Structure 1
Amino acid sequence: MLEFLRYDGRKRIRGSLYVSIGLALLAAVVIWVFPSFQESFEGDELLEAYPEGVLQLFDIQTMASLEGFLAFELYVFGWTILFGLYVAYSAAEVIAADVDRGRMDTLLAMPISRARLLAERFGALSVPILTINVLVPPVVLVGAWLIDERIAVVDVIAVHALSIPYLFACGAIGIVCSVAFDRAGIAQRAALGVTFGLFLLESLLQETDYEAVGAIAPMRYFDPNEILLEGTYDLAGAAVLIAMTVVLVGVAQLWFTRKDI
């Protein structure tokens, strides 16, 4: 049972460690440079020089505290954008790569349904998602301690825990693209475009007459600022992301089951 999940999961371990190291280094650098910028951002006076569009796009609320600095530099940029794009990109090759390379017929000759094959290979995305969210928080907490800054341990754990449903939702976007396109490169570019496009949609439509359209974007339901600055956790938003993932994976399974290879 779960042979494909285990096989794909093992293949993703090395890449997960590399990405973990990259994001851990990003976290360390962000924390290391914060004391140098802290006085410049005192009272958020420097933020007044930023264009309004940039503040809205990246949801920058404050950079005068370590929590605000991390929310923007690490969690909005590093997690919501970079890590979200990475997961969507990785998911986009799950089906399309084997179709593109002519290996899918061999896989489908095995006694396994298409729906199960897709579900198990999608489930292997849990390896990078969970690995990175386990390895990076200690770097954040130790880094904050080293520069003598207080940061709530529970909030750091919460921001990583609540990012997990968000990242699976990004992966679900990628898996739909993987079924939609038979060329892996096209599927991956489509996943990147759709995911980043949804980020722009949600960011730029805030406080406009079309704000409701942004409800289709996973980014609406994961807000690092809310967690780190206010200490509030949007559990309803996490439930929406889980539902969004289930629906998108279900659509991908149905599409894949009916698709000619």
Structure 2
Amino acid sequence: MTAIVRMESRNLVRGTLVLTGVFGLLVVFMLAVFPGMAAEAETIEQAFPEHVAGLFGFEELHTLEGFLGSYMFPFIWTLFLGIYFAYLGGGMIAGDIRERRMDLLLSNPVSRESVVLQKIGAIWVPLVAINVGLFVLLYAGSFVLEESIDPVVLAMAHLLSVPYLLVCAAIGVLMSVVLDRVASAQAAGLGAVFMLWLLDGLSEMDPDLEWVGGLTPSRYYDPAAILIHEEYALGDAAILLVTFVVLLAIAIGYFVRRDI
């Protein structure tokens, strides 16, 4: 039965188009400021305190790869998109329970496990649309700026962001099955992703807290390593995928047993 995933996918189309447009405008703005930032890259890097520079990982801002990898991707993909997918996941189950749509849905021959899997399966819509749309925009922007960037490297930066975004969505889904109110679940999901991202950055400043960063999903997606050094951490991507499966299994287990 795939009716749920088809319906949820259609429901996500409009919001995805709007979000892609918003992020597209943000990317255009950031590309527009790149020439000025590249000219003042050294001054900018020295202007930030060491702990702030360490938090954001500024590196080689004078190159397009460095600008994308240490400035644009950490903000747009790791932080903003991570928060969005957690927010999206937070409304998937709690909303239907709150509005009593879940009772009607489960009156059909469909299991609770299938409901969760099909609902989160619908996130393929924003995953594909946003990554493909912004890839095209960034690659076209490199020609406008008369900068060269390897399309394979850029594509890998997008592709390896998928496991990270899946984990963020799974965090939201877990909150959605645990909490009753939609707003609470969404706030908890996006708050968790933000705090994990912040904890990852702060842990890199203190050697004693380095191990804490290993518990955060953002530690396993490093766009700077991909775009600047062409390092493809497939093992880290596998860890994120396993984490996604584990979080989803916990969410399903709780949802199967909870009283709605």
**TM-score, length-scaled by structure 1:** 0.96
- Write the mapping of 1:9-28 to structure 2, written as runs, cut at 5 A: 9-28=9-28
2:233 matched to which residue of 1? 234
CA contact (8 A) 1:155 1:227 kept: yes
Find out whether 1:112 has 2:76 as its counterpart: no
User: Take 1:110 and 1:28, find their aligned partners in 2: how far apart are those partners?
Assistant: 46
Q: Does residue 81 of structure 2 align to residue 83 of structure 1? A: yes
The letter for the 2-side match of 1:39 is A
Whole-angstrom distance in 2 between the partners of 1:83 and 1:174: 13
Matching residue of 2:219: 220
SS in 1 for 2:207: coil
Superposed CA offset, 1:192-218 (max 9, x none)? 111101001111011521211222211
Q: How does 1:143-222 map to 2 (within 5 A)?
A: 143-206=141-204, 207-222=206-221
**1:137-192 superposed Cα distances (whole Å, 9 cap, x missing partner):** 11101111111111111111000000111101100100000011010000000001
Name the CA distance, whole Å, in 2 between partners of 1:201 and 1:75.
18
Partners of 2:71 and 2:7 in 1: how far apart?
A: 34
Alignment map for 1:119-134 (pairs within 5 Å) = 119-134=117-132
Report the residue type matching 1:114 in the other structure. Answer: R
Q: Name whichever of 126-135 and 67-76 sits farther off.
A: 67-76
Equivalent position of 2:252 in the other structure: 253
Taking the aligned partners of 2:44 and 2:181, their CA distance within structure 1 comes to: 46
Q: CA deviation at 1:29?
A: 1.7
Structure 1 Cα separation of the partners of residues 95 and 52 of structure 2:
36
- TM value normalised by structure 2: 0.97
Q: CA deviation at 1:72?
A: 3.3
1:49 aligns with 2:47: yes
Who is 1:40 aligned against?
A: 40
Distance in 1 separating the partners of 2:60 and 2:48 = 12
Within 1, Cα distance between the matches of 2:46 and 2:36? Answer: 19
Look up the equivalent residue of 1:17 and give its one-letter code: L
Sequence identity, in percent? 38
- Indicate if the aligned counterparts of 1:97 and 1:184 stay in contact, CA closer than 8 A: yes
CA contact (8 A) 2:16 2:130 kept: yes
Gaps of 5+ in 1: none
Q: Secondary structure at the match of 1:230?
A: coil
> Which amino acid is 1:190 matched to?
A
Secondary structure at the counterpart of residue 150 of structure 1: coil
- Quick check: 54-63 or 113-122, which moved more? 54-63
Separation in 1, partners of 2:183, 2:133: 30
Per-residue deviation at 1:73?
A: 3.3
Give the alignment of 1:129-144 within 5 angstroms: 129-144=127-142
Deviates more, 1:22-31 or 1:241-250: 22-31
Residue 65 of structure 2 contacts residue 228 of structure 2 at CA under 8 Å; is this kept in 1?
yes
Q: Which runs of 4+ in 1 moved over 3 A?
A: none
- The separation in 2 between residues aligned to 1:37 and 1:211, in whole angstroms, is 31
* 2: CA distance, partners of 1:89 / 1:147: 34
Cα distance in 2 for partners of 1:208, 1:45 equals 27
Q: CA RMSD in A?
A: 1.1
In the alignment, residue 102 of structure 1 is paired with which amino acid? R
Deviation at 1:88, TM superposition (A): 0.4
Q: Aligned with 1:149: secondary structure?
A: coil
Does the aligned pair in 2 maintain the 1:12–1:127 contact within 8 Å? yes
Q: 1:53 offset after TM fit, Å?
A: 2.4
